[in-house]
Amino acid sequence: MAFHETIQELPSLQGSSSFFDTGTVIALCVFFALLCVCIIIGHLLEENRWANESITALLLGLCAGVVVLLISKGKSSKILVFNEDLFFLYLLPPIIFNAGFQVKKKQFFKNFTTILMFGVFGTVISFCLASLGAFYLIKKIGVTSLQTKDYLAIGAIFSATDSVCTLQVLNQDETPFLYSVVFGEGVVNDATSIVLFNAVQTLDFNNVDTLTALKLVGNFLYLFVTSTLLGIVAGLLSAFIIKMLYFGRHSTDREVALVMIMAYLSYMLAELLNLSGILTIFFCGIVMSHYTWHNVTESSRRTTKHGFATISFIAETFIFLYVGMDALDIDKWKGSHASPGTYIAVSSTLLALVLIGRAAFVFPLANIKNFVKRRDSTRIEFRQQFIMWWAGLMRGAVTIALSYNQFSGSENTSPDSALMITCTIIVVLFSTVVFGSITKPLIETVMLRHAKPLTSDVTDNQSLEDLRILFLENGDPSDQGNGSSSNNQPAQRASSLRLLISNPTTTVHYFWRKFDDKFMRPVFGGRGFVPYVPSSPTGEADEAS
Amino acid sequence: MAFHETIQELPSLQGSSSFFDTGTVIALCVFFALLCVCIIIGHLLEENRWANESITALLLGLCAGVVVLLISKGKSSKILVFNEDLFFLYLLPPIIFNAGFQVKKKQFFKNFTTILMFGVFGTVISFCLASLGAFYLIKKIGVTSLQTKDYLAIGAIFSATDSVCTLQVLNQDETPFLYSVVFGEGVVNDATSIVLFNAVQTLDFNNVDTLTALKLVGNFLYLFVTSTLLGIVAGLLSAFIIKMLYFGRHSTDREVALVMIMAYLSYMLAELLNLSGILTIFFCGIVMSHYTWHNVTESSRRTTKHGFATISFIAETFIFLYVGMDALDIDKWKGSHASPGTYIAVSSTLLALVLIGRAAFVFPLANIKNFVKRRDSTRIEFRQQFIMWWAGLMRGAVTIALSYNQFSGSENTSPDSALMITCTIIVVLFSTVVFGSITKPLIETVMLRHAKPLTSDVTDNQSLEDLRILFLENGDPSDQGNGSSSNNQPAQRASSLRLLISNPTTTVHYFWRKFDDKFMRPVFGGRGFVPYVPSSPTGEADEAS
């Protein structure tokens, strides 16, 4: 998409290829060569605790931008213009889908209430604070031409966390609780940010009343529920089709193709219906990994697992390269007419607002949660709260895309708008490179010094075990290994009931499992429900691949 | 790319999505929904001997085109405008790469001389005949405004066979010889067509002399050799990098990503240097499957094998859907001002030229080859010749792309140009649907009635075996199973020497294997040369995935 708006500034390189625009070919060559270099450097730096692929890509992109700037003699640093379509239509969906596909579902749903709370209320709090702060502080710096709408947009723009970078700095296996909360929050955050951003675009802020606010809440609920449902329906449909038609009989490629295309279709449909495509494809990924993945052949399973991860990996690296190359948007830098002091002041203000805005909801909400659920095992300790705060500070491509959308329209080309775009870029670069590179060592320092295993995992298995005993139709408590002594049974039962009340998530999980095994899996397949069509040769399924 | 030029004719559907052009989203939704339907129908028709995925996609695309035409009340049938960039930059490379990656290398190289002969001389003969025929016949129908250049372009356009459709109707396992020759010819044909087409665009045909002709030949040789070399270098580089840096240690996704990106980069580089990207990526695929594929982890192997096949499969289906939807290009149909009689006359003429042009080189060249190599085993029998003729009659997306390139420029919008485009579409549709659906049953009828195994395979293994004995440093002839009798050895040796002379390809293959084992595989890896870096934990390679 963006490749059409490529360098016309390198006339010496214009060849005579009869089919393509040479600019497009050059841009693609440079980009894919840089991607190769990124992957190789990323591999070599794997053991390094500071750097990661995102930062490498970002810095490499910056370097390439400088080179292009020098070649074009200061006229342009851009081989590609940042293009929202390319980002939202082609790069973001595979990343979010893969995240849903590979997420540890149990962890995710166990922390679902926490995730929703952080993703919804947290984002709103952050939005309010950032808007207010921008309104009072940025005016003082001397940026005067922005309107109320712009300040509210700034709030929405800087509340959008970067889930892609979070995926790279947190490790699902090492810190499952943090990963699921911070990443899950990032996904919900996206839906909230989009609602807020759209609201800012369409609402008339001169007469805001209770009704408008309620409408906004209703709008969000509608968006959240329908987006999730659409994703679930798409996932179930794919599972059903593959199970019924038994694709593996003929071709593993067709299975994989169908999974990919249906996932992408769910995203597109969500966007068509003005829903949050990100929420949709995320839940589609979850449902597909729970049902569809078990209905396909062994080859398809491996291919989807690694194939989706690879595509997501390429898209992530591509985005950071893109953002890096785009940072030296010379027209915007020139267009803002601002002094270095102003840049520093505005960027620091925005960065401070990001830091404060996140602190303002992470610590209070975590403590509220701790207060409500007093059980020691599910408490979010202070060092966990600190990591949750820190790991969500990165701002990324979504922020840049929203900023371009707000400040780079045809009507909106004032110096102050250009200033806001450049400052957004500064904040994104700074937060990704500095915060991003500190996160890994920070987590190691904070978490691993206290080497005891993370409480939430251990305890939860225990309580799940208790519940199983409680609900088992023909439960045999002697499985507990206590031998012949049965005098502690009443006490145990009481403790289990207490658990049931104090730990509703686990209970929900238990009932869900029963429902899943009884109604869902027989229809949609899933682990233990290998597809079996009586009239077709079952044995061939895996061999045909 | 093409999605930008989407329906503005459906204003009732324009929503208020704040990020995307609604037309783009609608087009993508329709397209991916149709892709899903194609895959499902293709699966259901798998056992049907007439239909295949291409034809399903083409017909489905046509139906969708009709629906859009009805919705827009006859104004436009297009959700997407056929776009050369989309086709050549994003859809064709994965298909050709996958073909190279999965091709049976032994068969391909064994028939290399045949493939080159058909691909180069055959295409030139076909080009000459089609140009001459078009020049004399189409003028008679009443199409007068075309120039000499246009007629020559028609020759080049209709000499470009459709390798994608060939891949679908021929089966590599059932008819390896035919598959390798027809498909290999298709790949070489592409390079030849492009040289011819470019030559038509740039040469001054008023003073053609021997020097120009020699220059053209030199140009072709340069193009062929450099394109092939570039592909080989890219493939070897990827093998070397992955072997040296030992990517599997950390991540299987990085390996797969690197393979994909380097393959694509080779295509882009070839296009940048005005070479034949198709030849380059094809040879890159061959080299990668020979070396790189053996250097990666087991997971990466499965992922690449099925992942590339899936991407190629999606791209193929996409192209046919695209061509189908594009067929009702109402502006072109209106723009030609021609009577149905003219359409039929021109299309039939072109179709006849395709049939005759192909017959004019397949049968003579095959018989020349039979005459030169008199050994019975490598003879191309008449029924094989017939299939070779038939299987190369399909014209596809390359033909359409070239036709648009020639006849739909800004200067060239005469009624006759529009007529040529519509007739090209008719020829493509007819040849794909009719010839394509007949091919499968035809092959079954012609080949399988004579149920004896294809000669070339059996004999060749035999002669290779002989050669091995001949060249084996410490060859032990008793392996032959003749026990103690050694009196037939001199005779056997003489027979082997005769083989060596009469069958140079096999000899080349033998020396290549020696060279490969001694020099190439130790450096670039390959079967039996699993990567081993002394300082790194070898055992982790497969577990890390």
Chain A residue at shortest CA distance from B298: A302
In terms of DSSP H, where are the helices of A45-175? 53-71, 84-85, 92-102, 105-110, 112-117, 123-141, 148-159, 163-169
Token pair 């759209």 is found at A198
Residue among A288, A84, A282, A260 nearest B315 (CA): A260
A477-509 pLDDT, tens per residue? 333 333 334 444 444 455 555 555 556 666 777
> Cβ of B265 and A39 within 8 Å?
no
> What is the pLDDT, as a whole number, of residue A78?
64
**Could you say which residues from 190 to 219 on chain B have a Cβ atom under 8 Å away from some Cβ of chain A?**
197-198, 201-202
Mean per-residue pLDDT, B20-30:
81
CB nearest to B35's CB, from A247, A261, A302: A261
B336 close to B115: Cβ distance less than 8 angstroms: no
> Cβ of A299 and B306 within 8 Å?
yes
**Could you say which residues from 274 to 333 on chain B have a Cβ atom under 8 Å away from some Cβ of chain A?**
274, 299-300, 302-303, 306-307, 309-310, 313-314, 317
CB nearest to A253's CB, from B256, B303, B309: B309
**Could you say which residues from 21 to 40 on chain A have a Cβ atom under 8 Å away from some Cβ of chain B?**
21-22, 24-26, 28-29, 32-33, 35-36, 39-40
CB nearest to B271's CB, from A20, A265, A314: A20
Q: What percent of chain B has pLDDT over 70?
A: 75
> What is the pLDDT, as a whole number, of residue A434?
87
Tokens of A350: 């925005």
Token pair 């080309």 is found at A413
Chain B residue at shortest CA distance from A310: B253
Nearest Cα of chain B lies from the Cα of A318 at a distance, in angstroms, of: 11
Q: Is some CB atom of chain A closer than 8 A to the CB atom of B269? A: yes
B335-376 pLDDT, tens per residue? 777 788 888 888 999 999 999 999 998 899 888 888 887 666
How sure is the predictor about B4, in pLDDT bands with cuts at 50, 70 and 90? Answer: very low
Q: Which residues pair with B313 in a beta bridge?
A: none
Q: Long-range contacts made by residues A149-152, C-beta under 8 angstroms, separation at least 24?
A: A149/A200, A149/A201, A149/A205, A150/A406, A150/A407, A150/A417, A150/A420, A152/A200, A152/A205
Instruction: Report the distance separating Cα B454 and Cα B443, nearest Å.
Output: 13
B82-98 pLDDT, tens per residue? 677 788 888 889 988 98
Nearest Cα of chain A lies from the Cα of B194 at a distance, in angstroms, of: 9
In terms of DSSP H, where are the helices of B327-454? 330-335, 340-372, 382-391, 397-407, 415-430, 436-443
Residue among A324, A27, A61, A412 nearest B1 (CA): A27
Question: Minimum mean pLDDT among A203-217, B377-391, B470-484: which range?
Answer: B470-484
> What is the pLDDT, as a whole number, of residue A339?
81
Instruction: Report the distance separating Cα B440 and Cα B49, nearest Å.
Output: 7
Mean per-residue pLDDT of chain A:
76
Which position has the higher pLDDT, B370 or A455? B370
> Cβ of A310 and B256 within 8 Å?
yes
Question: Minimum mean pLDDT among B82-96, B197-211, B436-450: which range?
Answer: B197-211
> What is the pLDDT, as a whole number, of residue B540?
34
Which position has the higher pLDDT, A201 or A257? A257
Chain A residue at shortest CA distance from B314: A257
Q: Is the pLDDT of residue A232 over 60?
A: yes
B91-124 pLDDT, tens per residue? 889 988 988 888 878 888 888 888 888 888 888 8
> Cβ of B314 and A258 within 8 Å?
no
Q: Between the CA of residue B361 and those of A162, B183, B365, B369, B393, what are the distances in Å?
A: 60, 16, 6, 12, 12
> Cβ of B33 and A265 within 8 Å?
yes
**Could you say which residues from 136 to 195 on chain B have a Cβ atom under 8 Å away from some Cβ of chain A?**
none
How sure is the predictor about B232, in pLDDT bands with cuts at 50, 70 and 90? Answer: very high
In chain A, residues with a C-beta closer than 8 Å to the C-beta of B307 are: 256, 303, 306-307, 310
A47-60 pLDDT, tens per residue? 776 777 778 888 89
Q: Between the CA of residue A301 and those of A129, A259, A298, B55, what are the distances in Å?
A: 45, 11, 5, 29
**Could you say which residues from 76 to 115 on chain B have a Cβ atom under 8 Å away from some Cβ of chain A?**
84-85, 88-89
Q: Round the CA-based radius of gyration of chain B to a whole number and report it.
A: 26
A6 close to A24: Cβ distance less than 8 angstroms: yes
In chain B, residues with a C-beta closer than 8 Å to the C-beta of A302 are: 299, 302-303, 306
- The count of residues in chain A is 545
Q: Is the pLDDT of residue B59 over 50?
A: yes
> What is the pLDDT, as a whole number, of residue A201?
74
Q: Which residues pair with B529 in a beta bridge?
A: B526
Question: Minimum mean pLDDT among A212-216, A279-283, B201-205, B317-321: which range?
Answer: B201-205
Q: Is the pLDDT of residue B420 over 50?
A: yes
A342 close to A99: Cβ distance less than 8 angstroms: no
Residue among B47, B15, B17, B55 nearest B430 (CA): B55
In chain B, residues with a C-beta closer than 8 Å to the C-beta of A256 are: 306-307, 310
B287 close to A337: Cβ distance less than 8 angstroms: no
Which position has the higher pLDDT, B509 or A395? A395
Query: In degrees rounded to 5, what are phi and psi of residue B529?
Result: -115, 70
A153-171 pLDDT, tens per residue? 888 888 888 776 776 677 7
Interface test with B, best of A271, A301, A403 (most B CBs within 10 A): A271
A98-136 pLDDT, tens per residue? 888 888 788 888 888 888 888 888 888 998 899 889 888
Residue among B390, B486, B490, B392 nearest B441 (CA): B390
Q: Is some CB atom of chain B closer than 8 A to the CB atom of A17? A: yes
B240: Cβ–Cβ under 8 A, 6 or more apart, which residues?
B523, B524
A121: Cβ–Cβ under 8 A, 6 or more apart, which residues?
A361, A365
Exposed / middle / buried, residue A458 (Cβ in 10 Å: 0-12, 13-18, 19+): exposed
B521 close to B528: Cβ distance less than 8 angstroms: yes
A52 close to A42: Cβ distance less than 8 angstroms: yes
CB nearest to B16's CB, from A15, A274, A545: A274
Q: What percent of chain A has pLDDT over 70?
A: 75
Which position has the higher pLDDT, B19 or B247? B247
> What is the pLDDT, as a whole number, of residue A105?
81
Instruction: Report the distance separating Cα B193 and Cα A524, nearest Å.
Output: 50
- The count of residues in chain B is 545
> Cβ of A89 and B28 within 8 Å?
yes
Chain A residue at shortest CA distance from B53: A254
How sure is the predictor about A409, in pLDDT bands with cuts at 50, 70 and 90? Answer: low
CB nearest to A250's CB, from B32, B46, B309: B46
Q: Is the pLDDT of residue A230 over 90?
A: yes
Q: Is the pLDDT of residue A534 over 50?
A: no
Instruction: Report the distance separating Cα B254 and Cα A40, nearest Å.
Output: 9
In chain B, residues with a C-beta closer than 8 Å to the C-beta of A258 are: 36, 39-40
Q: What percent of chain B has pLDDT over 90?
A: 11
Amino acid in the structure at residue A8: Q
Tokens of B322: 């695209």
3-state class (DSSP) for residue B529: strand
> Cβ of B250 and A303 within 8 Å?
no
A341-379 pLDDT, tens per residue? 888 888 999 999 999 999 998 899 888 888 887 666 667
Q: At what angle do helices A176-202 and A92-102 cross, to 10 degrees?
A: 140
> Cβ of B265 and A29 within 8 Å?
yes
> What is the pLDDT, as a whole number, of residue A20?
64
B52 close to B436: Cβ distance less than 8 angstroms: yes
Q: Which residues pair with A526 in a beta bridge?
A: A529
Amino acid in the structure at residue A196: L
Instruction: Report the distance separating Cα A41 and Cα A57, nearest Å.
Output: 9
In chain B, residues with a C-beta closer than 8 Å to the C-beta of A299 are: 302, 306
Report DSSP state, residue B130. Answer: H
Mean per-residue pLDDT, B156-185:
79
B212-228 pLDDT, tens per residue? 778 877 887 888 889 89
> What is the pLDDT, as a whole number, of residue A3?
36
CB nearest to A258's CB, from B36, B306, B401: B36
Q: Is the pLDDT of residue B55 over 80?
A: yes
3-state class (DSSP) for residue A526: strand
CA A253 to chain CA centroid, nearest Å: 28
Q: Is the pLDDT of residue B283 over 70?
A: yes
Tokens of A372: 């409500």
> Cβ of A306 and B307 within 8 Å?
yes
Chain A residue at shortest CA distance from B3: A1
> What is the pLDDT, as a whole number, of residue A237?
93
Question: Minimum mean pLDDT among A152-156, B193-197, B346-350, B478-482: which range?
Answer: B478-482
> Cβ of B43 and A257 within 8 Å?
no
B61 close to B110: Cβ distance less than 8 angstroms: no
Instruction: Report the distance separating Cα A154 and Cα B517, nearest Å.
Output: 63
